[in-house]
Amino acid sequence: MPLCPLVHLNGALMALTDAHISPLDRGFLFAHAAYEVTAVYGGRFVDLDGHIARLERTLAGISIPNPHISEGWANLHRELIAQNDLVEGLVYLQVTGGAYDARDFAGPQSFTPTVFAYADARPLIGASARMGIGAVFIEDSRWKRRDMKTTQLLSQALAYRLAQGQGAETALMVEDGFVTEAASANAWIVTQDGEIMTRQLSPAILPGITRAGVMGLRAAGGFTITERAFTPEEAVNAAEIFTSSAGAMIAPVVTLEGRPVGDGRPGPVTRKIQKLYYEAMGADVAVAAPFVFDRD
């Protein structure tokens, strides 16, 4: 689907075709930029406060002054979806170190950020959620501060290309004998005993907002969730695998390295998590995602 026609650039709402950013912007030259992706469902944001809090943490971590208070960021998001009449989709926000008159690694003592946001109308509960996706293992070559959500995404982009070249949709990134996360999502496995595992928070992974939402479902779902690193072998032998992210939400992984995960269908634990997560964001599950009942 095409992007929504109106975007936000440095305090102004304008047509996408009128938005221009300097080629000397530090986001372009050095990937010196933070970003967030927030889902919109039924005209309402999903976990917007969590995304803003993570943005503020990332900006502080990469030395970009925060140009807005939390409510200012929220108002920017609300104006963007209201002016574009966005009911379902994603809002992307990027904040860079700004543009200056020279290409200088260190840059000035204080940065003047560039702020750019746009909306993308798309269905959030689609074929990947219903049917599942395939994954392959790929060596994790990303920088060491993955807990900062920055635009240094070349490794992730190449991971997707490598996965697609092998007939899969995503990759499980491996470092020092353990899975870190998926190409652009947190990774989860379900053991044969029904225990859910995901890697503990650290600079090795992004503290996903959707990940936090899944963690919050423990009581409602009666889940046992262990936060620890798991090996590729544990993933291969898992009963179920799924990923979590703002864009794909809860995506079942039904094949790994070309072999079925479990019985090759989204498993009952994953289906229960999908159901609870969709309900929490306000979806009429019977209408929007009836497939969540196929393992009852």
Place of tokens 């072999």: 259
Active-site residue list: 149
| 88-111 burial: b if 16+ Cβ within 10 Å, else e | bbbbbbbbbbbbbeeeeeebeeeb
Q: Is 65 helix (H, G, I), strand (E, B) or coil?
A: coil
Question: For residue 204, with 0-12 CB atoms within 10 Å meaning exposed, 13-18 middle and 19 or more buried, which class applies?
Answer: buried
What's the distance, Cα to Cα, between the start and end of the chain in Å?
A: 33
Place of tokens 């807005």: 68
Structure tokens at 137: 């293992």
Can you tell me the distance from the alpha carbon of 178 to that of 229, in angstroms, rounded to the nearest whole number? 6
Can you tell me the distance from the alpha carbon of 269 to that of 223, in angstroms, rounded to the nearest whole number? 9
Measured in degrees and rounded to the nearest 5, phi and psi for residue 82 equal -65, -45
Can you tell me the distance from the alpha carbon of 38 to that of 93, in angstroms, rounded to the nearest whole number? 8
Can you tell me the distance from the alpha carbon of 34 to that of 51, in angstroms, rounded to the nearest whole number? 12
Can you tell me the distance from the alpha carbon of 118 to that of 1, in angstroms, rounded to the nearest whole number? 14
Q: Is 147 helix (H, G, I), strand (E, B) or coil?
A: coil
Q: Is the dihedral of CA 86, 217, 289, 206 positive or negative?
A: positive
